[in-house]
Amino acid sequence: MITRRNFSKLKLSAAMLALTVSGLTSCRQASEQAVIETQTQTYYLLRHAEKQKGDDPGLTEVGHARAALLKDMLEDKGITHIHSSQYRRTLQTAAPLARSTGLEVMIYDPRDLPAMAAKLKSMPGVHLVVGHSNTTPQLAALMTGDPVEPMPETEYDRITQVNLNPDGTLKSWSITRFGNK
């Protein structure tokens, strides 16, 4: 039988439990935020893999092989976000890594690169951004503040890695190649 006294004790116990859970949640959130604030933000910027001809073409057989190689290269890098323009060739380039990591591919507008650069800089984590020969160097320049060499139409093997400090300032950037040209 619940008496007033027992009921008061139950209410007090429930309130104490709620405060404890709330405090633990706040501690966990503060701890996660502290980790985020001390981590370098990393961005892998690249052009889609080899494409077929035509309007909104998909990837060639070689392009699908390059996309699989990209997945193999990046799946252990702790990718937290995958971004792609809305075109078939970019989505198909991002797809193997998205399937491997279980991440959703977020679509961005390659015609508004300043907005994309600002968005990326505001999102902690490790990002893959799949773009185009004319947009990837521009986005890299916006992210680094440095000029980036234009990309020839025949080039599919360049990855620009940008590392930002927790405060959004540039830590480092580099260009590497992967697969056969």
pLDDT at 148: 93
Digit-coded pLDDT (tens) for 36-77: 445 789 999 999 999 999 999 999 999 999 999 999 999 999
Digit-coded pLDDT (tens) for 2-20: 555 555 555 555 555 454 5
What CATH number matches the domain at 39-177, 3.40.109.10, 3.30.870.10, 3.40.50.1240, 3.30.2130.10? 3.40.50.1240
Q: What is the dihedral of CA 62, 66, 69, 71, to 10 degrees?
A: -130
pLDDT at 34: 42
The beta strand positions in the chain, using DSSP E, are 41-47, 81-84, 105-107, 126-131, 158-164, 170-177
Domain ranges in the chain are 1-38, 39-177
Confidence of residue 168 (pLDDT cuts 50, 70, 90): confident
With CA atoms as reference, report the closest residue to 142 among 158, 164, 157: 164
Specify which residues 47 forms β-bridges with.
131
Looking at the whole model, is its pTM more than 0.85?
no
CB 166 within 8 A of CB 40: yes
Q: Which two tokens stand for residue 135?
A: 């947009």
Indicate the burial class of 87 (C-beta count within 10 angstroms; 0-12, 13-18, 19 or more).
buried
DSSP labels for 32-57? HHHHHHHSPEEEEEEE---B-SSSS-
pLDDT at 40: 83
Mean residue pLDDT across the chain: 86
Digit-coded pLDDT (tens) for 125-166: 999 999 999 999 999 999 999 999 999 999 999 999 999 999
- pLDDT of residue 78 exceeding 50, the answer is yes
Digit-coded pLDDT (tens) for 105-132: 999 999 999 999 999 999 999 999 999 9
